[in-house]
Amino acid sequence: MVLFTKMQGCGNDYVYINNIEEKIKDMSGFTKKVCDRHFSIGSDGCIFIDKCKDADISFRIFNPDGSEANMCGNGIRCVAKYVYEKGIVKEKQMHIKTKSGIKKVELYVEDDKVKNIKVNMGIPIFSTEIMQIEYPKDVLINERFSILDKEFYLTSLSVGNIHTVTFVENVDDIDIEKYGEKIENLDIFKDRTNVEFVQIIDRENIKVRVWERGVGETLACGTGATASVIAGYLNGVTENICKVRLRGGDLEIVYNELSNELSMIGEAEFVYEGMLY
C-alpha cells in the first residue's frame, strides 16, 4: 500500500509521492502503472520527493512512458507547496534540487497556506551541442523546417528540459497530435523534444498549446511557458515580461536581461490524497 497525493498546477497534474517515507525504488515502473487514467490514478506523470544534502529538498519526475524528465515548472511549484504545508520544509524561501540543478523558490503565504510560488528557472541554454541536437549551426533559432504538409519556423532551447517553440496564427486551429509528434521525433533531436505552439496576442500576452515529450498534449507546462516567452523575446515578438495563457491556466514569466535569468510565477493546488493498493 502506497500513500499518494494528487496535485495540479495550471491543469498539469501529477501523482506526488513522499519518498522519504514510501521509499519506492522502481520509480519508472511505478509511474507507468499509476498514470493510466482508466485503470489507475491517472496523471501527466509522477514526482518523487526526497531529502538531499545540498538543498532543502529534492525531487525526481517521470513521464507516463517511464522516461525521466529533468525539470517541471508546474511540478516544482507543487513540490514547494507540498513540503511547506506538510511541514517538511517550513521556509518561505527554499532551494529545491532537480536533475537540471538546484532551483531557488519563493513562496507567497497567507494564513499558513501557499497562494503563489515564484521559481527561478535559471539561465536558458541555446547550444545545439549541449542539447544533443544534430544541426550544422551552434544554435537553432527561427529555422525553417518542412513538417508533413506545412512549414514551421523552429526555435530550440533548454530551461531545464529541451523545448522547441514555433509561432502560429491560431493555436486552436493546429492539429497538435499530428504535428507535435512529428516535431518531437525529428531526427535532429537525439533525446526528442517538447514542443510549444505559440500564438501572439500582443507583446505582453501569448497563448500556448503544449506537446510534451513522452506524454502528448497537456493542459500546461511551466518550462514550456518559460521557453515560449524567451523564444518570443529573441524573435522580437514579445516583451521580457509576459503572461502565458495555457489551456489549464495562466503563468507570468519574467526575463531579467541583466542577469540572463528567468522567473516563473503561478499557483499550485492539492486535488486529493489516497492509498494505492
Give catalytic residue positions: 72, 221
The set of residues, in sequence order, having a beta carbon less than 8 Å from that of 66 and lying 6+ positions away, is 28, 29, 31, 32
What is the per-residue DSSP string for 207-240?
EEEEEETTTEEES--HHHHHHHHHHHHHTTSS-S
State the pairing for strand pair 249-256/261-266: antiparallel
Rounded CA separation 70/270 (Å): 23
Q: DSSP code of 1?
A: -
The CA distance from 271 to 252, in Å, is: 22
Q: For 163-199, give the DSSP string.
A: EEEEE-S-GGGS-HHHHHHHHHT-TTBTT--EEEEEE
What count of residues does the chain have? Answer: 277
